[in-house]
Structure 1
Amino acid sequence: SGYQYRFQTKEGYNNFYLDSLFLATVGAKRLADDVTAVMIQSGYIPEGAEFGYMENGSPVLYLLGRQSPMRLPKEWEAYDRQMRQQQNTLRQLKKTYGEPTDTRAGDQR
């Protein structure tokens, strides 16, 4: 902002700091809300997506990416399940048989 502030007391500085932190937090939430609105209007977020919080959500599962406050279309959920199952199958094959050795250079990326 280009301004320099002087505070007569530590309490005055702390009040200023907390006010600044609050305003920055509110501004960040507003930015996130605006970005979401633009994504909906531009069609980036598909029709049928529902926003809201899960009633019985678990913070641990949310942090691990297993629960989300945004409901996706059923097709996306099915696709995600298929991809996770295929990844799990490939991991199991890798554990059983090890790394592939008969590939030509450049085949793996």
Structure 2
Amino acid sequence: MRAADGRREIVVGIDPARDWHLPLAWASDEAHRRGLGLRLVVAVRPSHQNRQVNGTPRTTALHQAGSEALTAGTDWARERHPGAEVATDLIEGTSTSMRAWWDSRPIAGTGDLAT
């Protein structure tokens, strides 16, 4: 995949509710091996799917957990490979909107987003 600036990168999804170390280890090692950037992505369900509105404790907690997971994942990846270029995205969306986000990104090589 290519970043907005055209640089190639490895993209990995982080689930704040699960152990993300194994997929992040693979992605960070692969990015390091190939000399590519690394992008961590957390998807948070839209507030209307949680039957909540923005700013409610549940929605706020989901966004906070996502942000904390991205920070922890970034720190962990940089500890594993000092000097690694790591970017993050916290995206609110369903699998359909995630697919649209994925499709809007320039792709380097082949691949697919599991939905």
Assess same fold via TM > 0.5: no
Tell which structure's C-alpha radius of gyration is larger: 1
Q: Which structure's relative contact order is higher, taking Cα pairs within 8 Å and 6+ residues apart?
A: 2
Which has the larger strand fraction? Answer: 2
TM-score if structure 2 supplies the norm length?
0.30
Higher helix share: 1
